[in-house]
Amino acid sequence: MSQGAPVGVKSGGYKRIVYVICAVAALGGLLFGLDQGFIANSLETIQQHYQFGVQGGEHFSAILATGGIIGALLSGLFARFLGRKRSLLLAGFIFTSASAFSAMLPPLPVLSACRFALGFGVGIASFVVPLYLAETAPASIRGSMGTLFQLMITIGIFLISLTNVFIARAFVNPATSLPLMFLTITLFAALMFFGGFMLPESPRWLMLKGRKEQSIAVLRRTLNTQQEIDSEIEEIEQALHGPQGAGIGIVRRGYFFKVLVVGVLLQVFQQLVGINMMIYYSPTIFGYAGMKGLVAAMTVPTVNMLFTFPAIHLVEKWGRKKLLYLGAVTMLITMIAAGVAFRAIGSVTSPAMISGVPKTVLLVSVILYIFGFAVSWGPVVWLVCSEIFPLEGREVGMTITTMVNWTFAGLVMANALSFMQAHGNASIFYVFAGFCVLAVAFVALFVPETKGITLEEMEFNLKNGVRLRDLGKRDASSMFKKNAAG
């Protein structure tokens, strides 16, 4: 509905602009996934065209993470000074131009710069998209929008794996297939960029800049009734009078530092259980075991996407910690099984000589491993990181934890294959299994269960010295309320 239209329309249904908001934001998540999933089924083609080996491939892959770290670092500043909409447009522009440039198959340094730029765009989008949604989508759909973002990442990984595998089969000449692979990303990026112009600016950011009239005009476009508009404005005004976003100095406050360590270690373990070795290199790893074709190319992205769906319900039904245990234990067992399978395969040079049993064990282990991650550590870590920080430090906390995620993702991407070459194919699976053990201990000792408690209650607990793993307990909060009252 256009601006100035009667506002007393039926509540419950959403205006068309709300669907545009969700679709463009979904594209932001999709592009994250498209860039993250790009390498798996294109690495061979890139290596053929640009003539580099295993280490060159690893370094090229990891450049995305370097861009991601810097994009995440600056995203808070962009969001604050440019506004949310212009930051989204900036990310869309970077995605579109960097992928279009890559499609021209420039010299390797330029292609690497484009991959850095794509990472930079992902870093911005992964911060600004959830923020924009939280501030602009009607309250009743904000929760599901948060999980939609996660789901879109896995759909993006799946989609690009599928299109790349088919393009590589249809056009064997890398000079033809590689541009088509990059153009697939360009297509979705352009949709996000041009779609972005239709978006309204975030009403909260407008209020932050003292532009109340414009903020009301946006709310008229997204909400149905005057009552909804009034209460939204009141809520924003109250929030603006509350604690404002603190600077980086907040890390020196003891209570903040404690939860920061929890968020940082969650992200470290999310990466050190080895997920991106699988997301990036599973076709290569299956290749070492003599497995090629669609199974090698599509197993990981398919299982990863399918099991993110149940996670959305389970995270509310079972809670975060149960899922983290389930995931870590599943990944522990399956990593050991995959290591044993590779040991049995040994250093066989001819794929035809590899027997069916270790191959089957490897395949089943990888499927269960990805199930273990997708249903737990994938979505839960991001969720918990968005919940544990007190309001005034949420921006700082999420920026730091996102940067840590990319740093360790880059570390895995840049070293996994050469580690296998240097220490034997089985070795890296045991290393990741070791991190799964540490992850279980860490969750048991330090991670709070954040299901079913409000963020404010948790903040109260935190500031009253409740120990980390009890932060999400209601009674801990009331005990402290009593103490504070007495």
Binding site for ligand BGC (CB under 6 A): 36, 153-154, 157, 270, 275-276, 279, 304, 378, 382, 405, 409
- 396-418: b or e for each residue (b if 16 or more CB lie within 10 Å)? bbbbbbbbbbbbbbbbbbbbbbb
Report the phi/psi class of residue 479: left, alpha or beta, with left for phi > 0 and alpha for psi in -120 to 50.
alpha
Q: Minimum Å distance from CB 83 to ligand BGC?
A: 26
User: How many whole angstroms separate alpha carbon 350 and alpha carbon 348?
Assistant: 6
* CB closer to ligand BGC, 177 vs 376: 376
Number of neighbours of residue 260 by Cβ within 10 angstroms: 22
Shortest distance, position 165 Cβ to ligand BGC, whole Å? 18
Nearer to ligand BGC by C-beta: 341 or 409?
A: 409
Residue closer to ligand BGC (CB basis): 275 or 443: 275
Structure tokens that stand for 140 in this block = 């009743």
Closest approach of ligand BGC to the CB of residue 301, in Å: 9
Per-residue burial over 262-294, b = 16 or more CB atoms within 10 Å of its CB, e = otherwise: bbbbbbbbbbbbbbbbbbbbbbbbbebbbbeee
Give the nearest residue (CB) to ligand BGC.
Answer: 378
Residue with tokens 């033809």: 176
Question: Residues in the chain, how many?
Answer: 486
At its nearest, how many Å lie between ligand BGC and the CB of residue 154?
Answer: 5
Specify the residue, 447 or 462, whose C-beta has the smaller distance to ligand BGC.
Answer: 447
Shortest distance, position 217 Cβ to ligand BGC, whole Å: 36
Strands (E), 162-265: none
d(CA 224, CA 140): 12
Min separation Cβ 376 and ligand BGC, Å:
10
Tokens of 274: 């080895």
Q: Residue 318's closest CA among 445, 450, 447, 217?
A: 450
Query: Three-class SS of residue 291?
Result: coil
Q: Which is nearer to ligand BGC, 207 or 275 (CB)?
A: 275
Q: Which is nearer to ligand BGC, 94 or 303 (CB)?
A: 303
In the complex, minimum distance from the CB of residue 23 to ligand BGC, in angstroms, rounded to a whole number: 21
275 or 466: CB nearest ligand BGC: 275
Per DSSP, the three-state class of 395 is helix
